[in-house]
A and B are shown apart, each in its own frame.
Chain A
Amino acid sequence: MATVTGDDGDGDGDDGNALERSARRAMERPWTVYRAAFTFGVVAFVLITLFPFYWLLVLALTPLTNVNNIDFEAFGLPLPVPVPQGFNPAAFVEVFRLVPFHRFMFNSIFIGLVTTAIVLVIASLAGYAFGRLEFRGRRVLMVLFLAISYFPPVTFAIPIFRYFTGGVHLFTIPGVTAVYSPNWFNTPGALITPFSALFMPLAIFILTTFYSQIPDGLEDAARIEGTTRIGALFRVIVPLSAPGVATAGVLTFISIYNEFFFSFLLTDGQAQSWAPIVWGILNYQGQYQQYYNLMAAASLIGVIPVAVLVVLAQEKIVSGLTSGGLKE
């Protein structure tokens, strides 16, 4: 290596020498090059990943009259990224006025929290059974639950839609009346119930893993102290598995906040009909289609709740997502 770089020692200009010197340094210590390349790769990667959010910010801050000519330059200098043409933070206020976007967000968060609570309670009961008890049919039932999450939502959607528009004849009380399914279309119940069922398998899976790891002795001790069986679950097992419960809760909430299909189908899209954030966004795209700055502002605001969750609970999310993959 040294001979290669030492070969043409004479007659070169300063430029060549500097180049040669840095080349020699790179060859002698290749890890500095690797590290530089690696850092460059990571930075580029993060920038590309976050760029779409920056684009939303540029668009939201640009006054509506200028959105059609957003340039890649500022003060006549070319830039690698677009920059806002003007400064109009009022878009972030206006976005709540044109469409009741806060109501859509509230609907989404409310539905997400209620569903998450239901899922955690019911999945805790099931997770206890799967994780801590031996019974016939345990494996088969577990597989049955997991199989639910394999089916595409379209295979459930049509009957559920009919069910909540009151079209399903459940039973008849002889001589009194026929009982039909509840007309919950446009109420939170129409989303909370199917979400609870469809997002539960993941929570059951995570909680089963955590609950099975609590030593039997702790539960026995609580039982000897006089706690009931279910009391032992909620006073001993669940508190000791707090990280697992948090993981299941965060993943369930994010999945529901992100959900599109049922959110799209089971409401008429009005804020007062408990339509979730999906419709807040679609309303902008449909009815107010020239307000591009508000679309961008709405999108940024809508991301905030989940972005905060990701920052606060990233370890939980990572462990929850990967537990599924590694268990098989």
Chain B
Amino acid sequence: MATESESSRSATRRYSPTYWVENMTDEQFAYFMLLPAFALVGAFALWPLWETFQMSLHADNLTGSGYVGEFVGIENYVAILTGEMTALLGAPFFDLDQPLQSALSVTLIYTAISVTLELIVGFGMALILDKEFYGRRWVRVAILVPWAVPIAIQGMIFYLIFLPSVGFGTQAMHAIGLFSDTPFINSADLLIMVIIADVWKTSAFIALIVLAGLQSIDRELYRVGRVAGASAWQRFRYITFPLVVPTLLVALLFRTIQSMRIFGIIRTIGGSGGCSTLPSLSCLVVTTFQGSGRYATAAALAFITAVVVAIVAGIYIVGFADVEGGAI
């Protein structure tokens, strides 16, 4: 009697989940713990990536049921890259004659200018925050608040600043000889507004990372520099700068990857017409699949966007390896 209940108890124990988990090897347990994260990432990141790729290899299906038509291999990619699709997309993918109207060049120009400006402003901020002074905590809060502002509100703020009938921004730009009378439907003007908005919001990100880099520098080095007779500029040039460069490159890499996604800020500052005034790569994907239901073409464009980002990120990583391996 007693033995029977004993054995049934151990049997229940053996099948209880706790018992099962407790008796796993470390490796099994590690995979077990990663399972939920994998399920989620698999379903909402890896599967969509694969599905996007699959879709991009099919024809658009505009009449029948189903999202995409028959398998066409890389035809969509060829059509987009050779410019055959331009009429359908509403904006060319790449056209040197009108750089601010074609998606690839808009995205690259925007990224290059805004990341450069953010680097300059962010570095300045970091040098200020590296000093000890009264109220530093509040200065840091002040530069962090824009970073935390939702993209939609960031766009709204600059829309209201540059709206010719309400804001002062367009007038101010006229005063220095920039901007047309209808800035929201002028590609160059919208580009400038979007860049200003982005610099305002995200310079703080670079500043914080650079600041962390600055504060990890051994202060003794500056003492040595001063004793050796180095000027402030020389101390910056030969001590601060080389030691911050690796951190700086990581910050730039993050910012570049993010900048190349630009969509929301164009959509809010430029309104519903923003994406046709300044078509970025993401803009083109959204208008292609939402506006005209060309899922396959949109998927191909999305994949091209990922590849473009990968190429630019690759350039950074190669550069990073050089800096790490080089004399610096």
> Which residues of A approach B to under 8 Å, CB–CB?
38-39, 41-42, 45-46, 49-50, 52-53, 55-56, 59, 67-68, 70, 72, 82, 122-123, 125-126, 128-130, 133-136, 138, 141, 145, 148, 150-163, 167, 193-194, 196-198, 200-201, 204, 228-230, 254, 257-261, 264-265, 277-278, 281-282, 284-286, 292, 295-296, 298-299, 302-303, 306-307, 309-311, 314, 317-318, 321-322, 324-326, 328
CA distance A125 to B30 in the complex (A): 9
B52 within 8 A of A: yes
Q: How far is the CA of A122 from the CA of B32 in the complex (A)?
A: 12
Q: Give the residues in chain A near B81, CB-CB below 8 Å.
A: none
Q: A281 touching B40 by the CB < 8 A rule? A: no
Residues of chain B within 8 A (CB-CB) of A52 are: 146, 157-158, 161, 200
Nearest-neighbour CB distance to chain B for A318, whole angstroms, equals 6
Contact of A159 among B51, B139, B140, B211 (CB under 8 A): B51
A260 B52 Cβ-Cβ under 8 A: no
Judged by DSSP, the binding face of A is helix
Please give, as numbers and ranges, the residues of chain B lying within 8 Å of A258 by CB-CB distance.
148-151
In the bound complex, residues from chain A placing their C-beta under 8 Å from that of B73 are none
Interchain CB contact under 8 A, A150 and B257: yes
**Which chain B residue shows the least CB distance to A46?**
B142
The B contact surface, by secondary structure, is helix
Of B4-12, B88-96, B282-290, the stretch lying at the interface with chain A is: B282-290
Question: What's the Cα separation between A53 and B254 when bound, in Å?
Answer: 27
> When the two chains form their complex, are residues A325 and B251 in contact, meaning their CB atoms are under 8 A apart?
yes
Any chain A CB within 8 A of the CB of B239? no
Given A281-B156, A292-B166, A325-B212, A129-B44 contact (CB < 8 Å): no
Are A158's CB and B125's CB within 8 A? no
In the bound assembly, the distance between CA atoms of A42 and B271 in angstroms comes to: 34
10 contacts between A and B (CB under 8 A): A45-B125, A49-B146, A148-B45, A150-B310, A156-B49, A197-B43, A254-B148, A282-B152, A318-B140, A322-B212
Select B137's contact among A82, A145, A314, beta carbons within 8 Å.
A314
Query: A261 vs B159: C-alpha distance in the bound complex, in angstroms?
Result: 19
B48 vs chain A, min Cβ distance (A): 4
Shortest CB distance B76–A (Å): 13
- Chain A residue with Cβ nearest B211: A322
Q: Which residues of B contact A321 (CB under 8 A)?
A: 205, 208-209
Nearest A-chain residue to B138, judged by Cβ: A46
A292–B261 CA distance with the chains assembled, in angstroms: 29
Q: If A125-B37, A141-B34, A229-B21 touch, does A156 touch B168 (CB 8 Å cutoff)?
A: no
CB distance from A282 to the nearest CB of B (A): 7
Q: Taking the nearest CB of chain A, how far is it from the CB of B200, in angstroms?
A: 7
* Cross-chain contact A228 with B22 (CB below 8 angstroms): yes
- Please tell me if the beta carbons of A49 and B133 are within 8 angstroms of each other in the complex: no
